Structure 1
Amino acid sequence: MIKSGRSQLEIHPMAQEFSQKSKILFRPKRLEKKQRSKHKKIIFGVLFLIIFAGAIYFFFFSPTFQIKNALIIASEKNISSDLVAQVQNSVRDFFQTRFFFVRRDNLFVFQENELKDYLISKFPEISDAKIERSSEKNLAEREIKIYLTKREMAAIWCETDLASAATGELKPVEEENFEPVTSTAATISESEAVRPKEEIKKCFYVDGEGVVFEEAPLTFGALIVLVKDFSGDEISLGARIAEPKFIEFILDARDWLAKNSDVSLAEFSIDKEDRQLRGLTSEEWQIVFNESQTAAEQGFIIKKVLEQEIKDKRRDLEYFDLRIENRIYYKYRNQDSKEDNTQK
């Protein structure tokens, strides 16, 4: 029986005894359950860590998922066996590098674009490296195939120095900076029959994208597009020396003139100060081009002036200047410059 007073609550002795006995009877069981639960959590945690670590090792560090073979395939005949061997060694070096702690030859880490960019940067002569993995059916082979494509030469580009050159404007140069050459043009005086002293440092092959990809010998010929660069810019392998549109313009100018006006461009040159593009014909006269117009438009103007104005005096020409749009200036070697208002 519980009696209540003003300020306190009295508990019957039997209830108090029951409460004490219940603590003795039930508290140890709850503790045992908690301890068992704690032990299970520890065991499951350890097992999870073991399984997780084993899975990490199995998928990322064991040889099971490492690329076993990289087959290099030359998709073109101009790719030498030496280049294939060098690429093979570079692929091995690439696979030795790591993404964080995982080697890059792991199938789950390997990225085709990474290897492609690596090979193109290491071998400028390679324009593309197409990479194929083993199909899902043949995943056990763990093989990749690399199809190499080599850059094609569009021009030979030469670093060139000139003892003294007329850049920007076509002006006479002091005779002491020239060396005499023979000429069949009867109207050229002895002092005018001269050629600038040139010093060609290095030559390189350049593709249609303007990328320098290989050192080249100094070669002349009807099928060779030779560009002498007087700009002073240093040329290095793998660099883009010109925009694709610039290379396309040079090729179009050469081909259009050769096909439509019987003008053979022996070489091109780039001035030092303003990077003005000039073409030198096999008849030893120059064409100063305007790159804002198409090669065909300028070729048509040159053809028209040659047929209507120059006629049989082509070998007496010194230059055509097309830098001013819709106008063409020309000059004979022993005369002042003339303007022809031939319209496009």
Structure 2
Amino acid sequence: MKKRDVLSSPRLLEIKKKKRRVLKIKLAFFLAGLIVVFVGLCFLSRIPKLNIANIEVVGNKIVETDDIKKVAEGELTGFYLWFLPKTNFTLYPKGRIALLLGEQHTRLKDINLNLKKDGVLEISVGERVGLYTWCGETLPSLGVKPEETKCYFMDESGYIFDEAPYFSNDVYLKFFGITDKGVSEDPTGSRYLPDYFSAMTHFMENIISLDIKPSSLLVKENGKVKGEIEIYLSSNILPPSAPRIIFNKGDDLVKLAENLQASVDADPFKTELKEKREKLEYIDLRFDNRVYYKFK
């Protein structure tokens, strides 16, 4: 009974009220301080010398400068929390702009954003170079003209980045097969044979060094021959009837190149290939250390 009276005594109640008042005052000062800091940041963030006023683009040759600027300007418009401008040097969305540029303009690479004097944002870019073309998941249907097949440029890593115009006379090696996106209406931004492409193009170079000119390559992903690869050689006959080199996806391409070279350098294949090249049907490399071939 006495303990309860002590806890509810007027003196203790007054002490509790004072503590509450002090806490409220501290909280009010803290909130006021936050407001002052926020207002100060808003004021400082809007100082013209601390904001991006212009955008410069360097390094682009094919992608239009205005198209690159448009992406950046779209991300620099507006405010954070309704008050802090996105153009502020310390707040502008650098990573977001670079990401969107890479997604919307897949030809671009090595995208860097740097602040320069006088409020200038410099966007430095590189552009991918088309070394090969990707022309679909499968070979064109019989009767379809080559110029009716839509192809896309690929860089040295097998990255598909832009639609390609029609080229005659096998100017670019053509690749067929499913990309890492799977079947898609728009393959840009996808990769072809991502873990195998570099080795594959090196293998193609080895074939060319043997005076055998490839024109296209197909990776079969369906049916009984899943994973089989056919390299079609330059000919007046269109694939799939054109002469071809056959092997399996995942084979040791260095070993295959050595086997092919040994066969091409030795008779009777050496002489037959020289004399009947236009009658070649296929060269089959699917069997260990053996090369099978057939002429018409």
Range of TM-score over shorter length = 0.7 to 0.9
The secondary structure found in structure 2 opposite 1:308 is coil
The secondary structure found in structure 2 opposite 1:257 is helix
For the pair 1:92 / 2:73, whether they are aligned, the reply is yes
The secondary structure found in structure 1 opposite 2:64 is helix
CA distance in 1, matches of 2:26, 2:212: 89
2:215 aligns to what? 266
Q: Give how far 1:277 is off.
A: 2.1
Alignment of 1:47-86 (within 5 A): 48=33, 51-61=36-46, 63-74=48-59, 79-80=61-62, 83-86=64-67
The secondary structure found in structure 1 opposite 2:294 is strand
List runs of 5+ in structure 1 lacking aligned partners.
1-36, 164-195, 334-344
Contact 2:279/2:295 (8 A) holds in 1: yes
- Mark the CA change 1:225 to 1:235 in structure 2 (over 3 Å): closer, same or farther: farther
> TM-score, normalised to structure 1's length?
0.63
Contact 2:53/2:119 (8 A) holds in 1: yes
The one-letter amino acid paired with 1:286 is R
For the pair 1:250 / 2:204, whether they are aligned, the reply is no
What RMSD, in angstroms, separates the aligned Cα atoms of the two structures? Answer: 3.4
- Mark the CA change 1:266 to 1:281 in structure 2 (over 3 Å): closer, same or farther: same
Contact 1:230/1:269 (8 A) holds in 2: no
> TM-score, normalised to structure 2's length?
0.72
Out of 330, 333, 336, the position equivalent to 2:293 is: 330
The secondary structure found in structure 2 opposite 1:107 is coil
2:229 aligns to what? 277
Out of 104, 109, 125, the position equivalent to 1:127 is: 109
Could you tell me the percent identity over the aligned residues? 17
Out of 284, 287, 292, the position equivalent to 2:245 is: 287
1:8 aligns to what? none
- Mark the CA change 1:288 to 1:93 in structure 2 (over 3 Å): closer, same or farther: same
CA distance in 2, matches of 1:43, 1:318: 88
Is the radius of gyration larger for structure 1 or structure 2?
1
- Mark the CA change 1:278 to 1:297 in structure 2 (over 3 Å): closer, same or farther: same
2:88 aligns to what? 106
Q: Give how far 1:111 is off.
A: 4.2
1:154 aligns to what? 131
1:171 aligns to what? none
The secondary structure found in structure 1 opposite 2:191 is coil
CA distance in 2, matches of 1:100, 1:323: 63
Count how many residue pairs are aligned between Structure 1 and Structure 2. Answer: 257
The one-letter amino acid paired with 2:193 is E
1:36-63 CA deviation, whole Å, 9 max, x = no partner? x99x989967964663242131234554
Out of 146, 154, 163, the position equivalent to 1:215 is: 163
Contact 1:220/1:226 (8 A) holds in 2: no
